[in-house]
Amino acid sequence: MRKIFIPLFFLFSIVFFLKVAPQANAVCPVCTVAVGAGIGLAECFGINDIITGVWVGGFLMSLSLWTLSWLEEKKINFRGKKIVVVSGFYLLTLLPLYFVGILGKPFNKVCGIDKLILGVIIGSGAFLLAGFFNYYLKKKNNGKAYFPFQKVILPVIFLLISNLIIYFLIK
């Protein structure tokens, strides 16, 4: 039963993020590189899988939104575009981790959910919240950012705040 619940929970989370994702509200490549650097640093220092997962989730959501924006720009449309792109990035990242034994370790879980997957879900949500917050701030300021690189800085700040909250909860 538990083996079925975890993939279903993960799939439900992806579908939820797809439903609330803003239409082609992509983030620039600089932010994507910053999130990718965060993943590398977390691995180097042996940080908890939940915290690493937050960066993986933010990175995957960034890549997904960036790709959706690129497809929109090129006027490439097909049925289920959001689902295909987002699911594709998540599956192409997480399935290999599962098959090499990084995901699914019996003692690497919190409430029955793999720590890395939980972190990915939290990071994806934090990244989307940052996108919504950026959109809200720009709308409030007549379509202009309040400060330079706002679109880059906000997602990184949201991911860092998520990491700090998790760090103090698991400490």
Domain residue ranges of the chain, discontinuous segments joined by + = 28-170
Averaged pLDDT for residues 1-11: 51
Contact (CB, 8 A) for 119 and 57? yes
* pLDDT for the residue 1: 47
Residues 128-138 pLDDT 10s: 999 999 999 99
Percent of the chain with pLDDT over 70: 75
Q: Whole-number mean pLDDT of the chain? A: 81
The number of beta carbons lying within 10 Å of the beta carbon of residue 22 is 13
Handedness of CA 93, 121, 52, 160 (dihedral sign): positive
The span from the CA of 100 to the CA of 74, in Å, is 36
**In the predicted model, is pLDDT for residue 102 greater than 70?**
yes
Name the pTM for this structure. Answer: 0.75
pLDDT bracket for residue 126 (50, 70, 90): very high
